[in-house]
């Protein structure tokens, strides 16, 4: 999943009216999802719309961890660093 799709996903996950955020975050936490971002900042640097996808990807990760979605390689890595 690319940075554009992840940035757009935050719009739905962050909307309290959505009500399905945890299920959506679980899908985004799967393989080739938000945890595959290596923070190279290229997406933010080259985004033609000036969206700053890296910031939204970090928001998605934080929200997933708050909701207990920690059974994946990315969340385990973050937990080991804290």
Q: In the chain, where are the structural domains located?
A: 3-74
The CATH superfamily assigned to 3-74 is: Alpha-helical ferredoxin (1.10.1060.10)
42-73 confidence digits (pLDDT tens): 988 888 988 889 999 999 999 999 999 888 87
Asked if residue 12 lies in contact with residue 28, where contact means CB atoms within 8 angstroms, the answer is: no
Distance from C-alpha of 45 to C-alpha of 54, rounded to nearest angstrom: 10
Closest CA to 81 of 65, 59, 57, 67: 65
pLDDT for 21: 82
pLDDT for 37: 87
Q: Express as a percent the part of the chain with pLDDT over 70.
A: 99
Please, what is the Cα angle at 36 between 35 and 39, to 5 degrees?
90
Read off the pLDDT of each residue in 27-54 and give the average, rounded to a whole number.
89
Asked if residue 68 lies in contact with residue 25, where contact means CB atoms within 8 angstroms, the answer is: no
Asked if residue 1 lies in contact with residue 33, where contact means CB atoms within 8 angstroms, the answer is: yes
pLDDT for 82: 66
């Amino acid at each position: 999943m690319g940075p554009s799709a992840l940035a757009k996903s935050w719009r739905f996950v962050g909307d309290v009216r959505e009500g399905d955020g945890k299920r959506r975050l679980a899908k985004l936490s799967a393989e080739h999802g938000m945890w595959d971002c290596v923070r190279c900042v290229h997406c933010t640097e080259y985004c033609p719309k000036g969206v700053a996808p890296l910031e939204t990807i970090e928001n998605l990760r934080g929200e997933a961890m708050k909701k207990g979605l920690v059974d994946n390689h990315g969340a385990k890595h973050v937990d080991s660093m804290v």
